[in-house]
Amino acid sequence: MVGGALTFAPFVGLIAGVLFIVALIFLIVGWRNLGRSTLAEAPRYKSTGSWLIYSIAIAVVVAVIGGFLVSIQFVSAVPALGSTPPSLQAIYQSQAFRNLESEFIAVAAAAYIAPLLAWYRVITSLRRLADQVSQPRLRTAGWLFLTLAVFGLGSFAVFSAMLYTGVISFPTPTTAGGLGVFYGPYYYLSFFGYGGVVILAITFVADGLLVLASYMCYRGVKGALQG
């Protein structure tokens, strides 16, 4: 919840990444601890924690291997651009870079499958837990997280289509101005055309869903602990 809120602020948003990693560790530990409880579906909860671990391992392997193969292919294609060394502008406008974008999108999609399935497992387990501990907020959180997952999948498809069709393109050093990774989601404003504004708005909606779902989950767990 805190990590999602921090992503709205430039510079400070970098801390969100650390908080997300810590939260993921707590999430895995929490589900595995529920697996050792006396709840009726304890084995399912333990399995949910294991699913998260497996999905992370699979995603990392796919991303590393796929990224390595795509990078090698791109580096081998750069000398064909003609200039020595080729300028960044020439690289951005080349067909090789367009192919690189498409291939990285494909690798990202492949790496995203396992975590998406694991996240769906978390959502369904959360909704079952809501019934067992009589906390409707947990069920609401589950529906919100499901909405976030569907929204994220749709956003990825829209971003990929915009990038592939040329509606948006990665900014060059001369057009990016002072924007960069330290500005968090506002970096998308440096993309060409209205596409950057659209992506920024989508990011805000996704972060808002994340914050709201996390808050409902927090309230539900707190209510269950208080009996």
Looking at residues 154-161, what average pLDDT do you find? 84
Rounded to whole angstroms, how far apart are CA atoms 24 and 71? 29
**pLDDT at position 38, please?**
87
pLDDT digit string (tens) for 101-119? Answer: 778 888 888 888 988 999 9
More reliable by pLDDT, 104 or 1: 1
Model's pTM, two decimal places? 0.79
How many percent of the chain have pLDDT more than 90? Answer: 32
pLDDT of residue 194: 77
Domain that holds residue 167: 2-225
CA angle 203, 7, 106 (to 5 degrees): 45
Q: pLDDT, tens digit, for every residue of 194-221? A: 777 888 888 899 999 999 999 999 999 8
DSSP symbol at 168: S
Q: Is the pLDDT of residue 143 over 90?
A: yes
For residue 175, pLDDT beyond 50:
no
| pLDDT tens-place string over residues 11-41 | 787 788 889 899 999 999 999 999 888 888 8
Lowest mean pLDDT among 8-17, 99-108, 129-138, 171-180: 171-180
For residues 49 and 33, what is the distance between their CA atoms, to the nearest angstrom? 9
Question: Would you say 137 and 216 are in contact if contact means Cβ atoms under 8 Å apart?
Answer: yes
Domains held by the chain: number: 1
Neighbours of 196 (CB within 10 A): 19
The residue that leads in pLDDT, 92 or 26, is 26
Cα–Cα distance for residue pair 202/152, rounded to 1 Å: 9
pLDDT for 176? 44
Write down the mean pLDDT value for the chain: 82
> What pLDDT does residue 56 have?
92
Mean pLDDT on 123-142: 92
Residue 177 scores a pLDDT above 50: no
Residue 94: which pLDDT band, with cuts at 50, 70 and 90? low
